[in-house]
A and B are shown apart, each in its own frame.
Chain A
């Protein structure tokens, strides 16, 4: 136990590791920004002074070994951690410059702007149509049935699922294959036209073919959204993302252009991880 603690303080002195481009604070393309983010689960600290920018119309991938805090970080961005009683968040996260943890901000509004796709496909046990229509209906985005149909169709098209399901929109979403379910979840997230989409290991429960489809899809939709993806697969990070952030033991070790991170990591730990020496 003590050994572990020592190791942690050794590898993660919180102040040392701030990525250099923080100097470009609120650069024009920054969509979301985390500063001095500390997250605690009860007494246990899960994130240490994380500072990270999420840029518009780019895919930012978060990599790192299990338990490094990447999922915790992504769940802070749309305040999904709020539902965990013992979770405490310090520091600031901004969306277009506005603090999302401001008490005046309703998480409902935030989550409409920052959508999320989960690790395990989790369509509602309702029809395909209802799955996609639920969000727009909740937020009153459609004035009438026609408009709702339009939203559902476009969302399914954007998620590359429409051709496969157009004849059975009233069949249960849970009857689709795993990959289709995950694309349905992406369609559901898109349907409320968010600005940021968070994806927490969206392909870890899928086979390689379904994974490839999701990756293609991410590449297609990034023109319209800022995407943050947590992944365990470094190949995936390399394939889909423009920027990569490497987390280790609750600290953000290194962040930069994906090409740089994978070809020329600045930190020893990053290099060890991407070359498979630990993780």
Chain B
């Protein structure tokens, strides 16, 4: 569209006066400069968009497969003599049964020609180490299973899972892969019987961390992140808004408030790990708060977020037109009434935006949390901010550090969960902000 106007001869105005001619001469150059500038901007946007797509594409490409998990159907005989030889039906005795033996027996039955100890051991490796617990849970939920034989879907081991997801190069010589030829043959045989299937991996979303990738889940980290961020929000938001209100509306403008202001700006630029060191020294070693707990993580992240919230809140308080303050003061509102009735509500959208930015940064932060022990391997889902926990970015870091191939996809999947958490958080904040903005 710009081309068509450029190619047309420029109609001359001004009847050929000298300045009109000069202006006409410069026009083409000006127009070209403008076009060039726009092109630069467009290129910048496209480049950024390209990288974003590349990044998200890689993460999703690597991670989506973790949302399904290979399961294996075995005919389990819930043998009375193994689980409950006396026939008591007492859950305590049932809980102590040797469920591992049930799974092993079922595997032996499925492949009767496996004889050597060595081969048997690799046969047993087909199912996850968690299979015994899965069977135990089944029996405890339904004790009448004892004595029956049932077809049961058990979680396959991570090696089999990887094989099914095509992550094992079967064309390599046997010595160079972890899955040997005999194992391949067993899996193929099971697959032919329809006894191998990929199911949605609920475990990943509901379970805690584990050393076994096939049963490792992010829920513990999600809950840890939730508790940590709740503590952060509860501390940083009111403190930040109060500090900003005082500095902006009530504090005398003198050397001391200037000093405070400069230092708040400095704090916003302090590397986050320094806050972790502070948390370690003050909250753990001096105040003896629980180690690895979201409460401490939340306090540390609140300290880190506070300057961001204060700066954003002050900026949006400053942006409230003085005419509103004058209007309120002019009909006899006190300073506090002016602030709470008019200035703060008008500044609220901006305050919330700043808080979102701070919270998003806190959500993605791992360095300060490493210092206060939130990097520990924690299987249990935390029940309160005082329980040991880890957070999503630290979970990503932990899994990325693990050698098993299956943790690779789980790392990406945890990043997807982290991004989803971020989106949910920002979305709710945007909705909240819109609600405030609707009050004109």
Contact = CB atoms under 8 A, between A and B. Distances in A.
A123 B326 CA distance: 11
A23 interface: no
A125 B439 contact: yes
B424 interface: no
Interface string A95-131: 0000000000000111110011110101111100000
Q: Per DSSP, are chain B's interface residues mostly helix, strand or loop, or mixed?
A: helix
Interface string A80-105: 10010100000000000000000000
Given A125-B439, A125-B440, A126-B439, A138 B327 contact: no
Contact of B331 (A109, A120, A135): A135
A126 B326 contact: no
Interface size classification for chain A: 20 to 34
Given A80-B329, A85-B252, A172-B440, A118 B334 contact: no
B158 to A, nearest CB: 59
A116 B332 CA distance: 10
A189 B329 contact: no
A55 interface: no
Contacts of B18: none
A124 B332 contact: no
B165 interface: no
Interface string B322-346: 0111111111111001000110001
B288 interface: no
Contacts of B115: none
Given A80-B330, A118-B327, A134-B331, A126 B337 contact: no
Given A124-B342, A134-B341, A139 B323 contact: no
Given A124-B342, A126-B439, A174-B440, A189 B330 contact: yes
B252 A124 contact: no
Given A124-B342, A126-B440, A111 B329 contact: yes
Which bucket holds chain B's interface residue count?
Answer: 20 to 34
A155 to B, nearest CB: 11
Given A124-B342, A125-B346, A138-B337, A85 B331 contact: no
Contacts of B333: 108, 134, 138
Contact of B326 (A122, A125, A172): A122
B326 A111 contact: no
Contacts of B341: 134
A185 interface: yes
A242 to B, nearest CB: 24
A188 interface: yes
Contact of A111 (B321, B324, B332, B439): B332
B323 A120 contact: yes
A112 B327 contact: no
Given A80-B329, A122-B321, A134-B331, 5 more contacts: A118-B326, A126-B440, A138-B333, A189-B330, A192-B331
Interface of A: 78, 80, 83, 85, 108-112, 115-118, 120, 122-126, 134-135, 138-139, 172, 174, 185, 188-189, 191-192
7 pairs of A and B residues whose beta carbons are closest in the complex? A112-B332, A122-B323, A116-B330, A125-B440, A111-B332, A135-B331, A122-B327
